């Protein structure tokens, strides 16, 4: 084991590469790079920086820190381009990974700050779980910003990191906290390089799950996760919705993953919510999946009184007419297509109806077993804002 401050010897590769894409980050880089320097990890480290067409003083700051980092034993690798416009965060991360050489990858956004123990603790977890994405808890800066979203990040139970992959507009461990082995990244990746408008972290996360990967969180606060006006902010629920990433893009990917990952296990299912969101889900499904919808269910007497929903835009003839039932008359399995807090209320209502079918306290609200009556397509509470990365780099979706 290398002593802190000792660089890797001749021919020896670093154990951990910190992956740092940079675009116009001059306001935050000093604190970010200081946090790399302060890591208490005992093994060899490398910082891989890729500059994505920054127009500010980002590269001057990085060159200022380079000798400090290298004197402490951290190898610094710098790449980038000076094109008129950035090529996107997916491209930048792929390039930073390609030019690095560590056996493990620690992802860091240029406006965030790592706690000194982050690399050490996440490396320990990744060694024990080689096919996992390892995240951590975060502290939001400024304090109190996006409180409910931050609680969601930090308080999901271990099993919910997998069972709630469809409850939000992004991964259950947020991208700025990711840590994984290079071998596993190579097996799953790379990131999509479509640029602006492409949720590269969500697409990678879904592919990770397809490959049988697991999700793990170190339950310590290891990252200062900034929220600031200069960041490319993104609402995961309510307008205004910046043009950077259309809400329909995320929805489309989520529905596709739902159809691929869960619905094939069910011969039929009921959509819980005969309102706008439930009907939107129905219309978004393929014709084959729509044929599996036996009913909508609801508590709204007006919707129930009508008796059915007719999909007027359908190409099929006759047009599909789906019954709308009171929830007490509906049968599982269910796709709950509601806001997250409403979904909890719905779960409580269902548990009153049938305690034997309701999920237990450790079950979570999403299941993919043919015998599990629940699958949740939910939205985060209304303050579920996400911001990570300086303006011009789309934030990781958490």
- 66-72 average pLDDT score: 97
The mean-pLDDT minimum among 58-72, 169-183, 357-371 falls in: 357-371
In contact, 333 and 362? CB cutoff 8 Å: no
Distance CA 66, CA 55 (A): 19
Give the pLDDT score at 90: 95
Mean pLDDT, rounded, for 176-184: 98
Which secondary structure element, helix H or strand E, spans residue 300, and what is its range?
Answer: none
What is the predicted pLDDT for the residue at 378?
55
Sequence-ordered list of residues with C-beta below 8 angstroms from that of 13, at least 6 positions apart, any chain: 44, 101, 102, 103
Which of 6-20, 54-68, 84-98 shows the lowest per-residue confidence on average (mean pLDDT)? 6-20
Count other Cβ atoms within 10 Å, centred on residue 183. 12
Give the DSSP H or E segment for 184.
Answer: helix 182-188
Give the tens place of pLDDT for each residue, 205-230: 999 999 999 999 999 999 999 997 65
Of 45-59, 79-93, 342-356, minimum mean pLDDT range: 342-356
Long-range (24+ apart) CB contacts under 8 A made by 315-322 are: 315/287, 316/287, 320/290, 322/282, 322/293, 322/294, 322/295, 322/296
Q: Rounded to an integer, what distance in angstroms lies between the CA atom of residue 113 and that of residue 128?
A: 25
- Return the ∠ at Cα 344 (arms to 343 and 345), rounded to 5°: 90
CB 24 within 8 A of CB 56: yes
Longest dimension (CA), the chain: 77
Question: Can you tell me the distance from the alpha carbon of 137 to that of 130, in angstroms, rounded to the nearest whole number?
Answer: 20
State yes or no: pLDDT of 149 exceeds 70.
yes
- Region 240-247: mean pLDDT is 43
Task: Tell me the average pLDDT across 350-361.
Answer: 40
Confidence of residue 348 (pLDDT cuts 50, 70, 90): very low
Q: Which helix (H) or strand (E) holds 181?
A: strand 179-181
Which of 136-145, 181-190, 224-233, 303-312 is predicted least confidently? Answer: 224-233
Per-residue model confidence (pLDDT) at position 92:
96
Mean pLDDT calculated for residue range 347-372: 40
What confidence score (pLDDT) does residue 12 get?
Answer: 77
pLDDT at 370 over 90: no
Higher pLDDT, 43 or 394: 43
């Amino acid at each position: 084991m290398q002593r802190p401050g000792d660089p890797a010897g001749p021919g020896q590769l670093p154990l951990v590469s910190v992956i740092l894409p940079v675009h116009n980050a001059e306001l935050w880089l000093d604190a970010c790079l200081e946090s790399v320097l302060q890591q208490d990890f005992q093994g060899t480290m490398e910082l891989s920086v890729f500059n994505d067409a920054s127009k500010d003083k980002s590269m001057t700051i990085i060159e200022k820190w380079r000798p400090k980092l290298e004197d402490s034993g951290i190898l610094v690798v710098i790449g980038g381009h000076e094109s008129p416009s950035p090529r996107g965060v997916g491209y930048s991360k792929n390039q930073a990974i390609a030019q690095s050489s560590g056996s493990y990858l620690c992802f860091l956004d240029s406006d965030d700050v790592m706690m000194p123990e982050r690399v050490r603790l996440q490396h320990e977890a990744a060694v024990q779980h080689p096919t996992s994405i390892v995240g951590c808890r975060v502290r939001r800066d400024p304090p109190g910003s996006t409180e409910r979203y931050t609680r969601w990040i930090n308080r999901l139970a271990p099993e919910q990191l997998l069972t709630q992959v469809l409850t939000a507009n992004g991964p259950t461990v947020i991208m700025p906290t990711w840590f994984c082995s290079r071998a596993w990244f190579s097996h799953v990746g790379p990131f999509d390089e479509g640029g602006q408008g492409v949720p590269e972290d969500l697409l990678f996360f879904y592919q990770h799950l397809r490959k049988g990967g697991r999700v793990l969180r170190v339950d310590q606060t290891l990252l200062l996760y900034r929220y600031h006006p200069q960041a490319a902010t993104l609402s995961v629920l309510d307008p205004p919705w910046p043009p950077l990433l259309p809400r329909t893009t995320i929805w489309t990917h989520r529905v596709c993953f739902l159809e691929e990952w869960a619905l094939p296990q069910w011969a039929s299912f009921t959509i819980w919510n005969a309102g706008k969101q439930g009907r939107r889900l129905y219309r978004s499904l393929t014709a084959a999946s729509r044929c599996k919808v036996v009913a909508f269910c609801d508590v709204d007497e007006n919707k129930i009184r009508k008796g059915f929903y007719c999909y007027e835009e359908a190409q099929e003839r006759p047009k599909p007419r789906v019954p709308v039932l009171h929830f007490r008359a509906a049968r599982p399995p269910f796709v709950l297509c509601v806001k997250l807090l409403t979904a909890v209320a719905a779960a409580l209502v269902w548990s009153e109806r049938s305690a034997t079918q309701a999920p237990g306290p450790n079950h979570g609200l999403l299941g993919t077993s043919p015998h599990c009556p629940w699958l949740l397509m939910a939205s985060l509470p209304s303050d579920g804002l996400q911001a990570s990365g300086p303006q011009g780099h789309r934030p990781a979706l958490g």
